[in-house]
Chains A and B, each alone.
Chain A
Amino acid sequence: MFNRWKLILVLMLCGILFSSCENSDSQTESHSEEETRISQDEMPVYALITKEESNLYMQKMEEGFKKGCEEIGVTPVCYGPSDYSAQAQIGIIEKLIESHVNVIAIAANDADVLQESLKRAMDQGIVVISLDSAVNKDSRMLHIQPADPEKVGRVLIQAATSMIGNTGTVGIITTTGYATNQNLWIKWLKQEVEDYPEKYKDIVLLPEVYGNDEEEATITQTLYLLSEYPELDIIITPSAVSMVAVGNTLREQNSDVLFTGLGLPSEIADFIEIDQSCLWFYLWNPIDLGYLAAYSAHALDNGDIVGEPGDRFTAGTMGYRVVSGSNDGGTEVFLGDPVKFDESNISMWKTVY
């Protein structure tokens, strides 16, 4: 009889938790008493906090995270704030701490602001990792790096200049000034130009502008660049939201300016296949990123690794992975190189993510 009631309770909890993954409107406010007991469930609960709930890239990451959790045999719960706010993410973290989840994996909206909450989570025995966009080294046990930031930054400027024949003006629309990963990529982008002045001698690199990962703000910044720099040849934008906004703005403006960056194939396919305003762009597989995060968290949760450089573990179908030191002094695991999407493969990739 006890087991039957226990089973009913677990099913109810799972129903509530899965519905929260499907509909995250209730993210911070709707943690009920039942949810506070989720950690008492026999099945471990792994939580993923995304940057923003409606972001397609983040949703694909959720998809991979859930897939990994299902393979591992843990219960995934996914939350995301309604805006790119670090404060909203703190609220979610606090609730998850109360719920005694086993793992918190977060794509941070700010590298430092979340530190207090995440440290408290770790103090209570919760495994904390960041993915996609890292928190500082003290706020995490491990970061899941989608790609080597140096490679991403350097390839973005190499690709942009290649598209315009190594001569012309290059603009950059990024997200926010405190977005960890974007800042890192742009840092390496600029480093590439500095390292090879001869190669980029005919390139004018404009100062970056901020679209805050919001459509309206990005459109505004695009229009600003178009009007302020009529000689503009190409825009680099290392954000999925910005990529779509820039592409749509260029289309509406009938502009000959090209754009590239990091985007989702399903959103950018038309700009390659029809508009041809984007010749190619890059991105890693966000599904794989979420999947790798689930297995990395599991390795930490199980005690297979402690998050030190040289730790090794097997990440499901992705095979063997090694923990390495990161530039910020912490540790990280790489997903792999980004994929180049162009007219040869976009029709296949747009069906994937």
Chain B
Amino acid sequence: MGFLKKLVISYSIVILIFMLILMGIAYKYIGSVSQQTAQINQSQLLQKISSQVEYYLDEMYKMGSQVASDTRVINVFNDLQEDEDQANYFEHNIMDSIDMGSILTSYNAPDYLIWRISVFNQYGDYMSDGIDIQNQTSGPVDKQLVEFFMAELQSMEETDESGTGKKFLLNFQNASDDSGDDEYTYPTMSMLLPITNYYADETYGVVEIQQNMENFQEFIALDQLEDTATVYLFDQEMNQILPRDNDYNSLDKNQFYITNETVKTYGWNLALAVTRASMTQPYHGIWGYIILVSFIIVISLILAIYVITKRITTPLTDLSKSVRHITLDNVPSELVQDESMDEVRELNTAFTAMLERLTKSLAYEKRAYLLALQSQMDPHFLYNILSIISGMGLEAGNSDIADICGKISALMRYNASFSNSNVTLGDEIEHAKNYLELMKIRYEDYFCYTIHVNEDLKQMQMPRQVLQPILENCFEHGFKSVPPVWQIEISADLEDGRWYVRISDNGVGFGDMELEELDKKVEEYSKNLPENYHELKIGGLGLINTILRLKLLLGEGVEYQVRKNTPRGTIIVLREGESSDDKDTDS
């Protein structure tokens, strides 16, 4: 799979997962908010309906109280207690009938908010006003029922069981004409109040405030509810009043969210059942919108990622192709042409710089190889000459000449050997000893040296010609301006478990400025070794050369120290570095 495809698919998956998580959170949040909002709305709706029910019942009670406390009504029904004839008094007494009808009408007029107002007693005396189901004076007076009402109301007067201070009974029945035709049958709700003489504590009759249930439902706006919501109304004993065609007990409670409220004054209970599905219905449109927008965003992002990724990966792919086609014979000066992006330009620059360094390194390697070959050619002549001189010295009986020639020859062979760039400390000490012996021959008693080497360190690997440049410095610079006897002391040993090689002389020594200069140069040449390579030839900056070559071999595994000797001269210490020690310890 290509780089481009991998990136696009990876980013797309990340974006999709992110969007899914985001939508999941949004779904939970909106679901929670919608449910809370719906619950608040339902609670408010139910409180409103409860207030309307209370107001409606209050109005009924108020009307009933007014009629029941009207002295004309009380007086008529008081008188009627004397008349135990079961015939309706009002049917045969026109003026009293009209009087009573006018009282009832006048209470209800002009708005006629009450469907029907009736007054009656246990002796069949009956009068009503309002919607005409039956004749005004031939009401449905059931003697036993009226006696039951009156007994109940009388009992309520004594015990005041309602606890509200309001004495009434509620009765639900269908009011209809004699035919029983459904078209003219009206479900009604009646509030019954006693017609009482408070002083005599007697109930003379009953006032019935009757309302059509349809009117009641319209008033509390049940017919305006959504199809998904149903309000159930119960009386104090939890008998269902509304709706009449939908039993609350048969409701599947899992499918509905139910809110309850109590009509305080009358103790009625309301339950609002709303289908759970409908609670989130208003948010379906929002969800559709969110999903559509999310889909558009995801598609747009994927397209954008594709375009951007393609733009980024094309130069990288080109770079990769270019690098793949590089050979030692064909190193291009520039890998890619497109440098529109900083990162690609940096990469291109880095690769190009690396290639340049690689090219230069190859050139140095070639030159060094040629020099090595050249240096292997010339010494053969010198060795032969030295061998002749040695032979001539032996023939002349001077073994010192042969000894000198041998040392020079060994010295030259050591210097010219390219078979192995690394040697042991023992080799290096031996080489230093040859050199110092030659110098001793030259300066005789003006010079002396001592070498002390721990035998355990003689097999330690180190670069070739570490000591000779330092020793040469002693003769070239250190001893020039000081009187003999010149001394050089070489020691190699262990200290605190770390090796060290110390070369001390009694020459002129380094000044403070020179020591600082030396440190700076080591640091400077360490940073940019290839460019200063030509200055580090042997005999040039010999000490620096030695330090740098040690660093090249051992890295931070070597430390150097150049300090003044006492009373004069220089002490140079090459020591195994602490980091090296740590590494060894770690390993």
Contact = CB atoms under 8 A, between A and B. Distances in A.
Contacts of A352: 109-110
A339 B101 contact: yes
Interface in A310-334: 312, 314, 317-322
B3 interface: no
Interface residues of A, number: 27
Interface in B92-137: 94-95, 97-99, 101-102, 105-106, 109-110, 112, 131-133, 136
Given A319-B131, A320-B177, A336 B106 contact: no
Contacts of B102: 339-341, 345
B132 A319 contact: yes
A318 B177 CA distance: 15
Contact of B131 (A320, A338, A344): A320
B109 A349 contact: yes
B418 interface: no
Interface SS, A side: mixed
A187 B378 CA distance: 172
Given A320-B133, A348-B110, A312 B184 contact: yes
Contacts of B131: 317-320
Interface residues of B, number: 22
Contacts of B112: 317
B206 to A, nearest CB: 21
Nearest to B104: A339
A151 B94 contact: yes
Nearest to B95: A158
A312 B185 CA distance: 12
Contacts of A345: 102, 106
A322 B97 CA distance: 21
Given A351-B110, A352-B110, A312 B177 contact: yes
Given A312-B177, A344-B72, 8 more contacts: A151-B94, A318-B132, A320-B132, A321-B132, A337-B136, A345-B102, A348-B106, A352-B109
Contacts of A254: none
Nearest to B212: A319
Interface in A131-163: 151, 154-155, 158-159, 162
A79 interface: no
Interface string A280-291: 001000000000
Contacts of B179: 312
B133 A151 contact: no
B98 A337 contact: yes
A282 B97 CA distance: 13
B95 A162 contact: yes
8 contacts: A155-B94, A336-B132, A339-B98, A339-B101, A339-B102, A340-B102, A345-B106, A349-B109
A338 B184 contact: no
A154 B177 CA distance: 28
Interface of B: 72, 94-95, 97-99, 101-102, 105-106, 109-110, 112, 131-133, 136, 177, 179, 181, 183-184
Nearest to A154: B94
Contacts of A339: 98, 101-102, 105-106
B132 A337 contact: no
Contact of B106 (A155, A162, A349): A349
B98 A319 contact: no
A155 B97 CA distance: 10
B184 A155 contact: no
A318 B105 CA distance: 13
A148 B179 CA distance: 23
A325 to B, nearest CB: 15
B110 A282 contact: no
B156 to A, nearest CB: 29
Of A317, A318, A339, chain B has the most CB atoms within 10 Å of the CB of A339
In the A-B complex, the 7 residue pairs with the closest CB atoms: A319-B131, A340-B102, A345-B106, A352-B110, A158-B95, A339-B102, A337-B101
A267 B274 CA distance: 56
Contacts of A312: 177, 179, 181, 184
Of B94, B97, B99, chain A has the most CB atoms within 10 Å of the CB of B94
B132 A159 contact: no
Nearest to B93: A158
A317 B130 CA distance: 10
Given A155-B98, A337-B101, A348 B109 contact: yes
B68 to A, nearest CB: 16
A349 B109 CA distance: 8
A320 B175 CA distance: 11
A320 B181 CA distance: 12
Contacts of A155: 94-95, 98
A262 to B, nearest CB: 12
Contacts of A336: 101, 132, 136
B95 A159 contact: yes
A209 to B, nearest CB: 25
Given A151-B98, A155-B94, A312-B177, A320 B106 contact: no
Nearest to A162: B95
A238 B105 CA distance: 21
Contacts of B110: 348, 351-352
A154 B93 CA distance: 10
Contacts of A319: 131-133
A320 B109 contact: no
Nearest to A317: B112
Contact of B99 (A151, A154, A322, A340): A340
A282 B98 contact: yes
Of B99, B102, B112, chain A has the most CB atoms within 10 Å of the CB of B102
A338 B94 CA distance: 11
A158 B96 CA distance: 10
A158 B101 contact: no
A163 to B, nearest CB: 11
A342 to B, nearest CB: 8
Nearest to A338: B98
B103 to A, nearest CB: 8
A156 B470 CA distance: 156
Given A339-B106, A352-B110, A314 B184 contact: yes
Contacts of B94: 151, 154-155, 158
Contacts of B181: 312
Contacts of A344: 72, 106
A46 to B, nearest CB: 22
A244 B378 CA distance: 163
Contacts of B95: 155, 158-159, 162
A349 B226 CA distance: 41
B287 to A, nearest CB: 43
Of B106, B131, B179, chain A has the most CB atoms within 10 Å of the CB of B106
Nearest to A315: B132
Contacts of B101: 336-337, 339
Nearest to A147: B98
Contacts of A340: 98-99, 102
Contacts of A320: 131-133, 177, 184
A331 to B, nearest CB: 17
A332 B95 CA distance: 23
B88 to A, nearest CB: 14
A103 B384 CA distance: 157
A182 to B, nearest CB: 18
Nearest to A340: B102
Contacts of B97: 337
B347 to A, nearest CB: 78
B328 to A, nearest CB: 95
A322 B177 contact: yes
A349 B107 CA distance: 11
Contacts of B72: 344
A287 to B, nearest CB: 9
Contacts of A338: 98
Contacts of A151: 94, 98
Contacts of A322: 177
Contacts of B105: 339
A151 B92 CA distance: 10
B281 to A, nearest CB: 35
A154 to B, nearest CB: 5
